[in-house]
Amino acid sequence: MKHNNVIPNGHFKKHWQNYVKTWFNQPARKARRRNARQQKAIKIFPRPTAGPLRPVVRGQTLKYNMKVRAGRGFSLEELKVSYLTTKMHCFIQDCFFYLHMIQYSYMAWISSASFSVICLLELKFFITLEVVVEVYNLFALLEFHQSMTLFYFQCNQAAGIPKKLAPTIGIAVDHRRRNSSLEGFQTNVQRLKTFKAKLVVFPRRARKVKAGDSSPEELATATQVTGPFLPIVSEKPAIELVKVTEHMKSFKAYDKLRLERTNARHVGVRAKRAAEAEKEEKK
Identify whether residues 150 and 179 lie together within a single domain: no
Contact 74, 175 (CB under 8 A): no
pTM, entire model: 0.55
- Over residues 209-250, the pLDDT tens digits come to 777 677 777 777 788 888 888 999 988 888 899 999 999 999
- Does 265 fall in a domain? no
Give the residue, 84 or 270, on which the prediction is more confident. 270
- Does 49 fall in a domain? yes
- Does 260 fall in a domain? no
Contact 219, 43 (CB under 8 A): no
Q: Which of 221, 241, 266 marks a domain boundary?
A: 221
Q: Which of 221, 241, 256 marks a domain boundary?
A: 221
Helix (H) or strand (E) holding 69: strand 68-70
- Does 67 fall in a domain? yes
Whether the predicted pLDDT of 155 surpasses 50: no
- Does 251 fall in a domain? no
Identify whether residues 93 and 60 lie together within a single domain: no
Q: Which of 131, 155, 179 marks a domain boundary?
A: 155
Identify whether residues 167 and 217 lie together within a single domain: yes
Number of neighbouring beta carbons within 10 Å of residue 74? 30
Q: What's the CA gap between 96 and 90, in Å, rounded?
A: 10
Pairing of strands 125-131, 113-120: antiparallel
Give the residue, 263 or 15, on which the prediction is more confident. 263
Smallest Cα–Cα separation from 161: which of 178, 173, 146? Answer: 173
Domains identified in the chain, total number: 2
**Burial code of 220-241, b = ≥16 C-beta within 10 A, e = fewer?**
eeeeeeeeeebeeeeeeeeeee
Domain interval for residue 105: 86-155
- Does 230 fall in a domain? no
